[in-house]
Amino acid sequence: MEKDALQYLVDLKKEAEVIDDRCFIDPALREVKEPEAETLGITTLTGLVNYIQSEFDGDDSVIVQVVSPTQVRVLSRMKKDKSRDLFVSVKAIVPDFQFGQFYDTEAFNIKMQSLFLKNNDRDIILQVVGSIKEENVRTVGDDGVSQSVVARAGVGNAKNILVPNPVSLAPYRTFLEVQQPESEFIFRMKDGPYAAIFEADGGAWKNTAIRRIEEYLLRELDRDIKNGRIHVIA
């Protein structure tokens, strides 16, 4: 069966017509497509750099495109039919945190410690959340930005404290090889008690992350870029 199929393709090739170096099969003029490379999946920028520098699959010139804070692609030059081979797709493994979703204080505390880089604002939030009494969150003079909550101030005592806003935090949102972008968030609490943070930078952190990925690749692939084999775009 495989032999018959191969012979069929050979016969089609004999009947093919070449137009501008592109092969078409008569009479319907169906184009014979060039073979496509199977995409290699990688999860780190280090793995991408090692793959490119190894020249394991040859030393052809390629484009390294920074698509987003979590994706980088390696593409071939444009082929005769104006398509490109996708040689490598790099997708970062990032932890799951739902911005804008309220978590109970225990879950929120754990996620803040494990999914965010340590900085002054993160520590303030942890102090506030860790001090909240198991009762309703008091919203004295809540103007949508400032918020007051009841927190423990020693054994058997409680006081009103101001929830900080806005806060600058650096969650893990891009490849670990680059510095995580720090951006502003709105920190809110409600009865339960529950806590949440809302993104407040309009997505500007994404541009920062893309630029840092580009800078990393330009630095690590400097030799290949200088000899014209690699072209990095972002």
Same domain, residue pair 198 and 212: no
Same domain, residue pair 138 and 161: yes
Which pLDDT belongs to residue 30? 66
Reading phi first (left if > 0) and then psi (alpha if -120 to 50, else beta), residue 12 is in alpha
Same domain, residue pair 150 and 190: yes
- 147 inside domain: yes
Same domain, residue pair 134 and 156: yes
Which pLDDT belongs to residue 156? 42
In Å, how far from its chain's centre is CA 87? Answer: 19
Neighbours of 102 (CB within 10 A): 17
Nearest to 125 by CA among 99, 152, 105, 139: 105
- 24 inside domain: yes
Which pLDDT belongs to residue 59? 83
**Beta strand pairing call for 230-233 and 62-68:** parallel
Which pLDDT belongs to residue 60? 85
User: pLDDT per residue over 180-229, tens digit each?
Assistant: 999 999 998 888 788 999 999 999 999 999 999 999 999 999 998 888 88
Residue showing tokens 């893309």: 210
Mean pLDDT to the nearest integer, 4-14: 56
Same domain, residue pair 23 and 70: no
Which pLDDT belongs to residue 228? 87
User: pLDDT per residue over 120-175, tens digit each?
Assistant: 999 989 988 887 765 555 554 455 555 555 555 443 444 566 667 889 999 999 99
Same domain, residue pair 137 and 157: yes
Q: Phi and psi (nearest 5°) for 54?
A: -75, -20
Quote the CA–CA distance of 169 and 184 in Å, as a whole number: 6
Which pLDDT belongs to residue 192? 76
Share of the chain above pLDDT 70, in %: 73
Neighbours of 135 (CB within 10 A): 11
Question: Could you list the residue range(s) of the whole structural domain that residue 181 is in?
Answer: 103-202
Alpha helices in 79-159 (DSSP H): 105-115, 120-131
What is this structure's pTM? Answer: 0.76
Helix (H) or strand (E) holding 215: helix 204-220
Same domain, residue pair 115 and 177: yes
Q: 107-116, long-range: CB within 8 Å, 24+ apart, which pairs?
A: 108/194, 108/195, 108/196, 115/171, 115/172, 116/169, 116/170, 116/171, 116/172
Same domain, residue pair 28 and 85: no
Which pLDDT belongs to residue 169? 96
Neighbours of 56 (CB within 10 A): 9
**Torsional sign, CA 206, 175, 93, 165:** negative
Same domain, residue pair 71 and 127: no
Which pLDDT belongs to residue 114? 95
β partners of residue 194: 104, 190
Quote the CA–CA distance of 180 and 165 in Å, as a whole number: 21
Q: Is the peptide bond before 69 cis (omega within 30 degrees of 0)?
A: no
Residue 12: pLDDT above 70? no
Same domain, residue pair 207 and 190: no
Same domain, residue pair 163 and 87: no
Q: Round the average pLDDT of the chain to a whole number and report it.
A: 82
- 5 inside domain: yes
- In the chain, the number of structural domains is 3
Same domain, residue pair 114 and 197: yes
**Beta strand pairing call for 40-42 and 86-91:** parallel
- 98 inside domain: no
